[in-house]
Structure 1
Amino acid sequence: MIEVLTTGPQNTVQDLGRSLYRNIGVAISGAMDGLALRVGNRLLGNPDGLAALEVQTFPLRVRFGADTAIALTGADGQAQLDDQPLLPWWAVTVKAGQTLSISYPRSGARVYLCVAGGIDVPELMGSRSTSLRGGFGGFEGRVLQAGDVLATGATAALPLPAGGLGVRPPVQAMAEVFASDPDGTVLLRAIPAGEYGLFERDQQRFWRQPWKISAQSNRTGYRLSGEPIVPHTTMEMRSYGLVPGVVQVPPGGEPIIQLSDANTAGGYPKIAGVIDADLWRLGQAAIGSRIRFVEAGPQEAIAAEQAIEAYLEDVQRLRAMF
């Protein structure tokens, strides 16, 4: 059992999402940084898809009602267990009555609090993720509030070494695969999409210029600020299916990247699609930070996916040692 003592306004229960119901208008939802969730669960010996807390507004304070084990992944939230600092990307055992505090991150945007056995909320359409727009899933279909009490799964915590167990963050462990500019601009690989040809005059500027993540961004999509790009001709489009990563260009010319709570259909021209392997980086890109698109193809996307799987296998092997 986990009791929520203090929470920001947008913290929710998330797993890896529900992907089989987009044909009836149900968004995928799920963790914005699915890689962090998977690593946290593997550090605890959980299946990858067990539900955890996605913390994106701070501070968060929770109290544990029973002995268990937890893992903190994603952003470095300057966490403390009672008065003792906890490292990010680390798993530790906790005792009944202990309090965990997570503060505004030193880096990154979202912290994932995974627990042995996962957060035990009802499964709906194959997932325990919260759909805020639909008002279902997660904990009563809403954001967490002070006083909420969350049940945890019955799976017993696997033993951890004294002092806990941690891994190198993926941005360090896979630095050669997931690069950033020296000024901190996040580089996102994207593949040209269906209406790319409509932007012939502005294609190079789309790739070349840095884009700023605007304040009008959320789990549905990141709106980007920069010099607008416009199609060379106006066309009326029928709505088409959307998935996370699609980069649309509304009439104002500033792109929108669809994310975890993406609409299931839309009609703006799509200029590109961010590869799946890079979406976790967007989940850790805070409002106001800068990104730049890098033109890629299927082979780069496959290589990035393979690097992630190799990293996760390393985490699995490390956990199996204890």
Structure 2
Amino acid sequence: MSFEVLDPGMLTQVQDMGRLGYQHIGVTTGGPMDEHAFLWANRLLNNPLNAPQLEITFGRLSLLAHSDTSIALTGADLGARLNDRPIAPWQTYEIKQGDQLSFSMPVAGLRAYLAVSGGLDVPARLGSAATVSREQLGGLDGTGAKLAKGDRIPLAPPSAVAKASVPYSEIPDYRKPLRVGVIPGYQYRHFPRSARARFFTSEYQVSQNIDRMGYRLSGEAIHGDLDGIISEGIAYGAIQIPTDGQPIVLMKDRQTIGGYPKIGSLSALGAGQLAQRAPGATVSFYLTDVAEAEARRMIFNHRLRQGAPGTTG
């Protein structure tokens, strides 16, 4: 049971929820850039929530099915088609042997998630199949390679899956300007009140310099009273302020330590919404705290457990 890669697209990788417990030796987590979309894809199929799936960035992927299975598609609308039929994200589909699944270019969002009933049958390295190319870990053969033409993606045995879709209230609109909460960081007090006020009242644009390591934003420069700090651990979503004053949001493939001051951090769900924004998108911030971020996560986890129309368990 497998999918054959006819065209790997711009960037398609195997991801699970990430490689946890190794940052102290310099191994980053990896994992899905958008946890919200990733987890819903597995939930639609009643897969284990950590089951490996494909993260498709910018599209152009084309796959040929060599067996019958069921899939769930979530996240960005990349103009997906099943054979000659357009299909929408945030729901499940039956796949028959010989079917061709293809993606064009982004309509809304940047990253789509393709889950398969039972998950992808790929090896774990350091407890995870998450692809981190820089560290040569994860993916189809464990070496961190992105998908290539001719690859065969092994699939776990499928289970019977009812047709299901994500509740409309849980589907983000990636075309809207993003406003996201920031939890103050260790160096927050080293930014004067004027700089903090500028940061929280300004709009920033997503620059062309974005990847799985970080999102560089452009807009009102802010400066603190620290030129640098002793390198320390970096959380997912941390917002570094380099010497030019332009914020950099650290993402899933970030280095594990860094020496730039950090004004704060996005939550995992907030950083995931940023990961769906293309260059030119507008982003603004508001001050929040750990309690609010935890409450939002608890609400999301509760809705995820409730499932979606057609799901069980």
Normalised to the residue count of structure 2, the TM-score between the two structures is 0.94
Out of 211, 217, 229, which is 1:224 matched to? Answer: 217
**What code does the residue aligned with 2:127 have?**
G
Q: What CA distance in whole angstroms lies between the structure 2 residues aligned with 1:49 and 1:128?
A: 10
How far residue 45 of structure 1 moved from its aligned partner, in angstroms, is 1.5
- Please state whether the residue corresponding to 2:134 is helix, strand or coil: coil
**What code does the residue aligned with 2:294 have?**
I
Q: Does 1:242 align with 2:234?
A: yes
- Please state whether the residue corresponding to 1:286 is helix, strand or coil: coil
Q: Residues 174 and 139 (structure 1 numbering): CA distance in 2 closer, same or farther, change over 3 Å?
A: closer
Q: What CA distance in whole angstroms lies between the structure 1 residues aligned with 2:108 and 2:5?
A: 24
Q: Residues 218 and 20 (structure 1 numbering): CA distance in 2 closer, same or farther, change over 3 Å?
A: same
Q: What CA distance in whole angstroms lies between the structure 2 residues aligned with 1:146 and 1:185?
A: 36
Deviations 1:119-176 (A, max 9, x none): 111101111010111122112421111111110113x32232xxx321235xx3377x
Q: What CA distance in whole angstroms lies between the structure 1 residues aligned with 2:308 and 2:220?
A: 44
Q: What CA distance in whole angstroms lies between the structure 1 residues aligned with 2:51 and 2:171?
A: 24
How far residue 56 of structure 1 moved from its aligned partner, in angstroms, is 0.3
How far residue 111 of structure 1 moved from its aligned partner, in angstroms, is 0.6
8 Å Cα contact 2:167-2:309 kept in structure 1: no
How far residue 314 of structure 1 moved from its aligned partner, in angstroms, is 2.4
Q: What CA distance in whole angstroms lies between the structure 2 residues aligned with 1:285 and 1:248?
A: 19
Q: Residues 174 and 72 (structure 1 numbering): CA distance in 2 closer, same or farther, change over 3 Å?
A: closer
Q: Does 1:69 align with 2:61?
A: no
8 Å Cα contact 1:249-1:268 kept in structure 2: yes
8 Å Cα contact 1:277-1:308 kept in structure 2: no
The corresponding residue for 1:282 is 274
8 Å Cα contact 1:224-1:256 kept in structure 2: yes
The corresponding residue for 2:254 is 262
8 Å Cα contact 1:59-1:103 kept in structure 2: yes
Q: Residues 299 and 205 (structure 1 numbering): CA distance in 2 closer, same or farther, change over 3 Å?
A: same
- Please state whether the residue corresponding to 2:209 is helix, strand or coil: coil
Over the matched positions of the two proteins, sequence identity in percent amounts to: 35
The corresponding residue for 2:154 is 151
Query: Structure 2 matches for 1:1-322, cutoff 5 A?
Result: 1-140=2-141, 141-154=144-157, 156-160=158-162, 164-169=163-168, 172-173=169-170, 184-200=176-192, 201-231=194-224, 233-315=225-307, 318-320=310-312
Q: Which runs of 5+ in 1 are unaligned?
A: none
8 Å Cα contact 1:7-1:57 kept in structure 2: no
Q: CA RMSD in A?
A: 1.9
8 Å Cα contact 1:190-1:294 kept in structure 2: yes
Aligned length: 309
Q: What CA distance in whole angstroms lies between the structure 2 residues aligned with 1:79 and 1:317?
A: 22
Q: Which runs of 5+ in 2 are unaligned?
A: none
Normalised to the residue count of structure 1, the TM-score between the two structures is 0.91
